[in-house]
Amino acid sequence: MHSIKKNTLIIIIIATLAMVGLVGIQLFWMQNAVAVNEANFNRKVSETLTDVIRIIEKMEIAEQFDAAQSAGGFLNLPDSGTRPADPWEKEINARYPDIYFSKSILINQFFEDLLNRGQYKVTVERLDLKLLDSLLRNALQSVNTPGAYHYAIYEPLNDTILHTGPNGFERKMLENSIVQVLYPSDRNPNPDYLVVSFPHERVFLLQRISGMIFISILLVGFVLLSFFIALNTIIKQQKLAVMKNDFINNMTHEFKTPISTISLACEALNDKDIRNIPNLSENYISIIGDENKRLGVMAEKILQTAILDQGKLKIKKEPVNIHETILDVVKKFSMQVEINDGEIRTNLMAENPMLMADKVHLSNIIGNLLDNANKYSPKQPFINVETKQSNKGLIFSVEDNGIGISKANQKKIFDKLFRVPTGNIHNFKGFGLGLSYVKAIVDEHGGNIEVESELDKGTKFSIFLPFE
């Protein structure tokens, strides 16, 4: 038994670790999927902001060229056909590479100065803010971003927000914003930045992969459910194995006693001297008969349980006077109770004692309750059997002054093979089948059974049975 418990514990621990690992991997995968989607989203938005800033730079360059052309800022090159002959042409051609390099530097500086005139302006004066807002709106819509976004122009040198978009921009949004340098082509060591924030970015990303997340959660749920069902089954099987072993031990003990008694009586009857004593031989024969009946009762209980398990229980209802049935059963048990200096009292107050019930099974459940009351009341048992009227039937109860049942065990007493722990397996006789049988018969009659008990103060079973 110890080996079985140890193996079961090892299986449970291994299965639990495997389950925790699987769930952990699944959660990591979901978290990683969200992180990858967030990174892709940020990359896409950054590329979009870069494209917007490039467009703004190109438009500024085009405006500067137009302005310079209009102001005569470019040199008019002479017509090569009218250029006079240069007597030093050969010498000039020899020095052409040096001359070309010097002029190319001058031209580069000229265009660089021309194109960088705007970098000395304040960014908000340099930018066409309406154009920026329009370009941003169109660009972000084209890449499927959340509808609500906030943007601003930020100057890190003075930690200042120079301009905010139409939706406003709070300073705390800087922490989770996508940032892009404005005018990256400028020779400016302290550029300003275009910052864009999406307040509902996480919700938007979760919605995009909601199908995958739902399937993952569903799979994790199914795995966890399967695990707990399997774990519950293992624990139940473990408990059932223990109860079956207890049942076999109890059954062996219960059957061994009457068999030993019958064996001893038979050996005594084989003695010729004892057979010649009339009263003594009759006494041994009576003992054999009583023990044989006891064996029959125990076998009947086991048979009843087998019938219940197979679902072959058949109830034959007929008009039954429950008061008469109770008195008959009490009469049979009175002697057993009186041996222990106990007493069975009846308080039959039901006005209408007639029921449609199976008389045999009804007698059995009353007998089982009385047997338990006597068995678990070791010191002068006092048992009270009572009936009272109900609207649609009647209630009868069996109350004792026995050892009582704890709250934890009260939920298990109707389980098959369950016996209230007493420290010694043979302190109280029985198989743990009686109350499960009682519950099954009561259910078949459409009634219900309740138990009230307190340790060391006794137990009361109340059964409601409908009239029909």
* Domains detected in the chain: 2-64+98-208 (no CATH), 210-307 (1.10.287.130), 313-466 (3.30.565.10)
Range scoring the smallest mean pLDDT among 230-244, 345-359, 371-385: 230-244
Q: How sure is the predictor about 431, in pLDDT bands with cuts at 50, 70 and 90?
A: very low
Q: How sure is the predictor about 326, in pLDDT bands with cuts at 50, 70 and 90?
A: very high
Separation of alpha carbons 251 and 298, rounded Å? 9
* Phi, psi (rounded to 5 degrees) for 79: -70, 125
Range scoring the smallest mean pLDDT among 109-113, 169-173, 268-272, 422-426: 422-426
- By residue count, the chain amounts to 468
- Go through 390-413 and write b for each residue having 16 or more CB atoms within 10 A of its CB, e for each that does not: eeebbbbbbbbbbbbbeeebbeeb
Average pLDDT over residues 381-408: 90
Q: How sure is the predictor about 303, in pLDDT bands with cuts at 50, 70 and 90?
A: confident
Closest CA to 404 of 336, 344, 457, 347: 457
**Given a cut of 90, is residue 321 above it in pLDDT?**
yes
**Given a cut of 50, is residue 231 above it in pLDDT?**
yes
Closest CA to 301 of 365, 377, 397, 237: 365
Bigger pLDDT: 312 vs 169: 169
Residue range 35-88, pLDDT digits in tens: 888 888 888 888 888 888 888 888 877 777 777 667 655 544 445 444 455 555
The partner residues of 464 in beta bridges, in order of sequence, read: 395, 448
**AA identity, residue 68:** A
Separation of alpha carbons 132 and 247, rounded Å? 86
- For residue 401, what are the CA distances in angstroms to 77, 79, 166, 196, 381? 126, 131, 83, 80, 6
Helix axes 129-142 and 2-70, enclosed angle (nearest 10): 140
Residue range 132-189, pLDDT digits in tens: 888 888 888 877 777 688 888 888 888 888 888 888 888 888 888 888 888 887 777 7
Name the DSSP letter for residue 102: H
The answer to whether 366 and 329 are in contact (CB under 8 A) is: yes
pLDDT of residue 102: 63
Range scoring the smallest mean pLDDT among 230-239, 245-254, 327-336, 407-416: 245-254
Q: How sure is the predictor about 364, in pLDDT bands with cuts at 50, 70 and 90?
A: confident
Separation of alpha carbons 231 and 244, rounded Å? 20
**Given a cut of 50, is residue 425 above it in pLDDT?**
no
Separation of alpha carbons 146 and 169, rounded Å? 16
Average pLDDT over residues 251-275: 75
Separation of alpha carbons 197 and 183, rounded Å? 20
**Given a cut of 60, is residue 451 above it in pLDDT?**
yes
Bigger pLDDT: 90 vs 384: 384
- Give the mean pLDDT of the chain: 78
Closest CA to 399 of 350, 448, 454: 454
**Given a cut of 60, is residue 372 above it in pLDDT?**
yes
Q: Which residue has the tokens 């972000």?
A: 140
**Given a cut of 60, is residue 122 above it in pLDDT?**
yes
**Given a cut of 70, is residue 276 above it in pLDDT?**
yes
Separation of alpha carbons 369 and 395, rounded Å? 14
The answer to whether 463 and 442 are in contact (CB under 8 A) is: yes
Bigger pLDDT: 8 vs 176: 176
> What is this structure's pTM?
0.47
Q: How many CB atoms lie within 10 A of CB 147?
A: 9
Closest CA to 143 of 187, 192, 204: 204
**Given a cut of 80, is residue 373 above it in pLDDT?**
yes
pLDDT of residue 53: 87
**Given a cut of 50, is residue 426 above it in pLDDT?**
no
**AA identity, residue 282:** E
Range scoring the smallest mean pLDDT among 43-47, 205-209, 343-347: 205-209
pLDDT of residue 387: 93
Bigger pLDDT: 302 vs 93: 302
